[in-house]
Structure formats: structure tokens, C-alpha cells
Chains A and B, each alone.
Chain A
Amino acid sequence: MAKKEYAFYPGCSSQKGASASNYLTSVNAMCDKLDVTLTEIPDWNCCGASIGYAEGGELPRLALSARNFALAETHMPGKQMVATCAACWLAQREVKERIDHSEVLLKETNEALAAAGLQYQGTTPIRHMVEVLVEDLGYDALKQPVVKPLEGIKFAGYVGCQTNRPFGIAGESFENPVYLDKLVETVGGEAVPYDQKVTCCGGALAFSEPEKSQKQIRDIVESAYDHGAEMIVTPCPLCQANVEIYQSEINKKQGTKFSMPVLYYSQLMTVAYGGSAKEAGLDGQLIKATRLEEIAKK
């Protein structure tokens, strides 16, 4: 397989000691096996996430993502930019679309960027890691390194919102995307039918409207149990955090007995590719994925 190289935008939650640090650990291990090189964009900044709009408004938010593009264009010309976080990818893509289609906003954004000594050119596309996997490599290539197929484990593929809407992965439907199920099957697992596949977990409102958000999370977890899944798998850091972390809160308040591990696709792939539990970031689970740990140990 030819070596592939990208300008990498890890995002705040992937940093050491942050809520999705185990996502990055597993992505690094997965990319090693696939001969994909991720070179971090120097001095990247927060994209504003899905709640930045309310205080940040429009142009300051556009400037944040434009700065990341400008840094990638300056320091890593010709490289495509890749994000692992759903919200980072979405924010960057939205901003690119907005300023590429408006001369006024482009001019104003560059006026702001000039204050940081930078300029946005619009030459670098932004991709999600899932796009790199399914489009640049393809399912066949993703199957080749499998040495420990995840046989007999049933997964609920929880796609969530922001890798699915409004852009999504090309060729997938908004209501029933299948790429995640296909990734599960590629590494030998079983993808169960799952009717909460694209349900919102509440996003950032998990902080501000916990009860409303936990109602969403309850549906997501309950449906995974109803369909016989042992674990949930997702491509989104906020989905992972919300759906895993708040199960104990829901148990406390509502008397449920949820204990459903919530994994990233990259953790499944790392284990199937022969990586250790540590390389797969399984030590970062609040609800342990015991059967995956067992396979990793074999």
C-alpha cells in the first residue's frame, strides 16, 4: 500500500489528558498499521465547536477555522487536512463553504487573519478520518491487516449527527448511513440493526440541559440493548463522551442498570489489527470493553 500523508487537525478533546485522548491513541495505532502518516498542523486552534456561535457570532468563528486552514496552507502546502473529531471536521467544512462562496466574508476573514499575520487561500480541503479510510483506502485495504477478527461481538453502530449531517460521507443516506456497520464487519464484528443510529445525544446541551440530553442518551443506550448489542461504536468524540459518561447518572436517577461500553471505530480496528489494549486506548474506557481487552491479550 502506498504511504499516505495528511495535515492533521487533532482538536482540543484529543489532546493529552482530555476527554477523547484515547481516541487519538487508537487513531495513531490504526494509522501505523495502515501506513498513514498524520503530521500535526503547527499551532492549530479550537474550531469554536458546536456552541461557539452564541457568544462568538459569525466572523470570529469563521476566523478561527480559517486560521487552521491558513496554517496548513502555509506550513504543509499541497497536503489535505484531516480531522478525527466530528465537530472539528464539520466546523472547518462549514467555514470553508461559507467563505469560498462569499467575496465579502472572504475579504473580512482575511482582514481578521492579517492581524495574526496569516492569509486564507482556500487550497486545502478538509476531510474526516472516516473519509480517508473508506474513500482513500477502501474497505478491501482496511481488511488486509486484520489478524484478530472481532468474531462474535455484536456492535450497535451509533453514527450520531455531525459526521452524518449536513455533509455526511459521500454516497451515504442521512437517515440510514451504513459506513460504520461496514467498518464493523470489515474487522470481523457483527453490526446489529439499530434504530437510534442517527439520534442526537444532546451535543453540548449535555452540559446546559442535562435532563433533556439524558433522555436522548437513554434512548440511544436502551435501543442498543434491545437489539442485542454488547457495545456501541461511534465516530464522534462528543457522542462517545455523552453516551458513556452519563449512563451512571441515568442509572442513579432512573433506576436503570446501563453498563454499555462505548468505543471508537479506531479502537475496534486497532485491536483487530493486533494492537494491544493500551495502543487501542481501552484503558480510557469508563465502562470497560472486557471482550475487546480479551481479544487484544490473545
Chain B
Amino acid sequence: MTTANQTAIAKYKNSFLKEVEANVEEGHWVRMCMQCGVCAGSCPLGNAWAHPPQEIFMMIRAGKREEVLGSDAMWMCTSCYNCIVRCPRKLPITHIMHGLANYAHRLGLAPKGQPTQATATLFWNNLIKKGRVNELTFSLALYFKDGFVQGIKNALNMQAVGLGLMKAKRLNPMEILGGHGVKDQSGLQAMIAKAREIEDRKKGFAK
């Protein structure tokens, strides 16, 4: 268990709702949910998750901390924003789901090996390295995230697609040498580090 997790449990022991309101992006909206379920019916991946948004919100209010933060529900969000535009109470549901996913991940409570969580981490690390996404190294990192043998299998599986994209000049093998990036990489990285430092201090992640 991470230190941040222990600190959060001690601080908010009687109210997971207060914890979510304080630490989760847009979490202060959770209490506004009226349990109508339009979000659940609007989600393209609605049948793929154990708990639709309105259930997650009620579980937060019922103090089901471990069940919520350990759920794979919010990792099914495709960022389609159907739930946001249809919510009769105008809750920014997509952002709350994103916020919960990030919070669970930062506390070390996201389901182990959750594929979207792993993909998101690879994506973020790729983009902050040079300030712009390198699609080639990102794809390769994705293929090889479950080890070398699986990586070769994945790469072979997608070989035709990869070659097709290269032929269409939409995937450049030379990107492996570094590829596109911003000029002020040190400034960008200092900015991200500062933002992370402020957020960590605010949300209890600071070591």
C-alpha cells in the first residue's frame, strides 16, 4: 500500500465522498447526481463495465472506497462525451471518470495490468519526453508492454497495417531516431515537473 493511500484513508476515514470532492478532478459534482441512469444508457462501452457512472457515484456516497478505486469501470471511458451532453443535471461525467481513474492510479489501486491504464502511462511518458507524440515509438512500446515474445507476436499481427501506413507515408520508420519534438524541451519538462509538484502537494501525493 502506498503512503499516499494510507494518508488518505486516515484523513477521510468516515467520508469517501469528501475525499473524492477534495482530491478527484471535478469530484465536487458527485453529490449532484440524481441516479437517473441516462449516462449508463448513453455509454458506448456500457455493457463492458461492472459499474456504470451513476452506480459509481452512489458507491462513492455509500463510502465504498475500495470497490470504486479498484474498479475497472472508469477505465472503459472512450472520451465520447455522450454522458456529459445528456446528463439532465449537467455533471461533467467524463471528467469525473477521468479524475477517478487518475486518482486510483496515483494511489496504486487501479486493477493490475489494466490495459487502458498501461496504455495511458506509455502515451504520457512518450509525449512529455519531447513535447510531441512519437507515434512509432508509442506503438512499439504498446506492442512490447507485455514482454518481448508477446511484442513480436503483436508486431507480426499488425505487420500488414504497419506496412500499409508506411507506404501511405503515415508512419515513418525514421521516427525511431527521435522524430518530432518541441525546441524548448527543458522548459516544457520544467513546466510539467512544476505542475506535477503543485498537484501532488494539493492532493496528498507528495512524498
Residue ranges of A at the interface with B (Cβ–Cβ < 8 Å): 12-13, 15-22, 43-46, 48-60, 62-64, 67, 108-109, 111-118, 161-162, 165-166, 174, 199-200, 202-205, 207-209, 212-213, 216, 245, 248-249, 283-286
Within 8 A of A (CB), among B104-136: 105-106, 115-121, 123-125, 127-128, 131-133, 135
User: What are 10 A-B contacts with C-beta separation under 8 Å?
Assistant: A12-B133, A19-B171, A20-B170, A45-B132, A46-B133, A53-B120, A54-B124, A174-B86, A205-B45, A249-B161
A-B pairs, 9 with minimum CB distance:
A17-B172, A54-B120, A55-B124, A116-B187, A165-B81, A200-B80, A112-B195, A50-B79, A208-B119
Give chain A residues whose Cβ lies under 8 Å from the Cβ of B119: 51, 204, 207-208
A12 to B127 CA separation, bound complex (whole angstroms): 9
A17 to B142 CA separation, bound complex (whole angstroms): 19
Tell whether, in the assembled complex, residue A208 and residue B85 are in contact, meaning their CB atoms are under 8 Å apart: no
Give chain B residues whose Cβ lies under 8 Å from the Cβ of A51: 79, 116, 119-120, 123
The closest CB in chain B to the CB of A64 belongs to: B192
Interface residues contributed by chain B, number (CB under 8 Å): 66
Tell whether, in the assembled complex, residue A17 and residue B174 are in contact, meaning their CB atoms are under 8 Å apart: yes
Least CB distance from A71 to B in Å reads 10
Least CB distance from B196 to A in Å reads 5
> CB within 8 A of A67: which of B82, B85, B172, B188?
B188
The closest CB in chain A to the CB of B200 belongs to: A57
Given contacts A59-B198, A67-B188, A209-B76, contact A21 B169 (CB under 8 A): yes
A204 to B142 CA separation, bound complex (whole angstroms): 12
> CB within 8 A of A54: which of B98, B180, B187, B191?
B98
Give chain A residues whose Cβ lies under 8 Å from the Cβ of B180: 12, 15-16, 18
Residue ranges of B at the interface with A (Cβ–Cβ < 8 Å): 25, 44-45, 48, 75-76, 78-82, 84-86, 92, 94, 98-99, 101-102, 105-106, 115-121, 123-125, 127-128, 131-133, 135, 142, 160-161, 164-165, 168-172, 174-175, 179-180, 182-184, 187-188, 190-196, 198-199
Give chain A residues whose Cβ lies under 8 Å from the Cβ of B94: 166
> CB within 8 A of B169: which of A174, A209, A283?
A283
Least CB distance from A53 to B in Å reads 4
Least CB distance from A235 to B in Å reads 15
Give chain B residues whose Cβ lies under 8 Å from the Cβ of A64: 192
Give chain A residues whose Cβ lies under 8 Å from the Cβ of B123: 49, 51-52, 55, 204
Q: A12-B135, A205-B78, A209-B45 are in contact. List 7 more A-B contacts (CB 8 A).
A: A44-B182, A56-B128, A116-B187, A205-B116, A245-B164, A284-B169, A285-B168
Least CB distance from A177 to B in Å reads 11
Tell whether, in the assembled complex, residue B191 and residue A113 are in contact, meaning their CB atoms are under 8 Å apart: yes
A213 to B44 CA separation, bound complex (whole angstroms): 9
> CB within 8 A of B171: which of A17, A43, A67?
A17
> CB within 8 A of A56: which of B118, B124, B190?
B124
Kindly name the residue among A18, A20, A286 whose own CB sees the greatest number of chain B CB atoms within 10 A: A18
Tell whether, in the assembled complex, residue B196 and residue A115 are in contact, meaning their CB atoms are under 8 Å apart: no
Tell whether, in the assembled complex, residue B165 and residue A245 are in contact, meaning their CB atoms are under 8 Å apart: yes
Least CB distance from B207 to A in Å reads 15
A153 to B7 CA separation, bound complex (whole angstroms): 62
> CB within 8 A of A19: which of B84, B92, B135?
B135
Least CB distance from B160 to A in Å reads 7
Least CB distance from B152 to A in Å reads 18
Tell whether, in the assembled complex, residue A52 and residue B124 are in contact, meaning their CB atoms are under 8 Å apart: yes
Tell whether, in the assembled complex, residue A19 and residue B81 are in contact, meaning their CB atoms are under 8 Å apart: no
A283 to B169 CA separation, bound complex (whole angstroms): 8
